[in-house]
Amino acid sequence: MSAPILTTDRLTLRGHHPDNLDALAAMWADPAVYGMIGGKPRAREDVWIRMLRSVGCWTVFGYGAWVVCDRTTGQVLGDMGLLESRREITPELTVPEAGWTLIPAAQGKGYAGEAMRAILGWAEAQGIGRTCCIIDPGNSASIRLAEKLGYGAPVEGIYHERPIRIFHRG
C-alpha cells in the first residue's frame, strides 16, 4: 500500500517522494525544528532514511507518514503521520506512534492540528483506534496540540537519555 492523498481546506497530504528530500532536509537542519525533537540536526542521509522508513511503513503496516503541502502553492510545510519506529524507549511503545513536524514559517497557524485531524480520521476509518505520541516536556505547543487531538494520560519516559512524555489516544 502507498500513502493515500488526503486534503483539508488548506493542505494536501501525500506520500514521500525523492523530490521532497531538499525541503525536508532543510526542515530537519533548522534549530527551531530539531531543538524539541532530539536536540540535534538531522543529516541529509538521515532524512532520506526517514523518508524511506515511511514508505516501508506503508508497505508493511498499511500506515505511515505524509508530506504536508500548502494546497494552493504546493510548498512543503512538513511531514507527519503514524509510524512504527520500534524505538528503544522506556516504557516501550506498543501502538502506532503519531508525529508532526512543520517548518518554522508554518508553525502556529493551525496546520499541524488540521493535518493531524485528517490523519487520525483516516486512521480510525482503517480501524487504527489507539495511537501514542512522544513529546519533549518543554515543547508546550506540541503538548497543547496533543491534548486538543485527544491524547492524554502522559507517562514520563526516557529516550536517548532525554526525558520525554508519552501520550496515548483511543
Residue 33: CATH number of its domain? 3.40.630.30
Q: So what's the pLDDT on residue 40?
A: 85
Q: So what's the pLDDT on residue 72?
A: 98
Residue 106 resides in a domain: yes
At how many degrees (to 10) do helices 140-148 and 111-125 cross?
Answer: 40
- For the chain, which residues score pLDDT lower than 50? none
Domain that holds residue 100: 6-128
Residue 151 resides in a domain: no
> Please, are residues 41 and 50 in contact by the beta-carbon 8 Å criterion?
no
Residue 142 resides in a domain: no
Residue 169 resides in a domain: no
**Strand runs labelled E in 26-150:** 65-70, 76-83, 97-102, 131-135
Helix-then-strand count for the chain, H and E: 5, 8
Q: So what's the pLDDT on residue 38?
A: 76
Q: How far is CA 4 from CA 98, 126, 132, in A?
A: 17, 12, 21
**Size of the chain, expressed as the number of residues it contains:** 170
Number of domains comprising the chain: 1
Q: So what's the pLDDT on residue 167?
A: 98
Residue 93 resides in a domain: yes
Note the pLDDT tens digit of each residue in 118-138: 999 999 999 999 999 999 999
- What's the one-letter identity of residue 43? A
Residue 153 resides in a domain: no
Residue 62 resides in a domain: yes
Residue 134 resides in a domain: no
